[in-house]
């Protein structure tokens, strides 16, 4: 059986990671927090779809 996970590959400088704590948690250098947040926000905004008008039958 095939197993797949959705994910994102981020190519970044290694020095922002202090420790990889578990599958979902990284301890990062505080100097990079704003840069990381901005990149994640940009990525999230690119994946968000906002329809400009409602289709027939939608409220």
Note the pLDDT tens digit of each residue in 11-57: 666 677 888 888 888 888 888 889 888 988 888 888 777 767 766 76
Instruction: Write down the pLDDT at residue 27.
Output: 87
| Beta partners for residue 22, in sequence order | 25
Distance of CA 53 to the CA centre of its chain: 27
Note the pLDDT tens digit of each residue in 1-12: 666 656 656 666
Cα atoms found within 13 Å of the Cα of residue 13, Cβ hemisphere only: 9
């Amino acid at each position: 059986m095939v197993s797949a996970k959705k994910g994102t590959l981020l190519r970044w400088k290694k020095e922002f990671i202090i420790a990889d704590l578990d599958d979902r948690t990284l301890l990062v250098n505080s100097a990079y927090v704003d840069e990381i947040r901005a990149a994640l926000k940009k990525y999230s905004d690119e994946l968000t779809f906002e329809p400009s008008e409602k289709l027939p039958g939608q409220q």
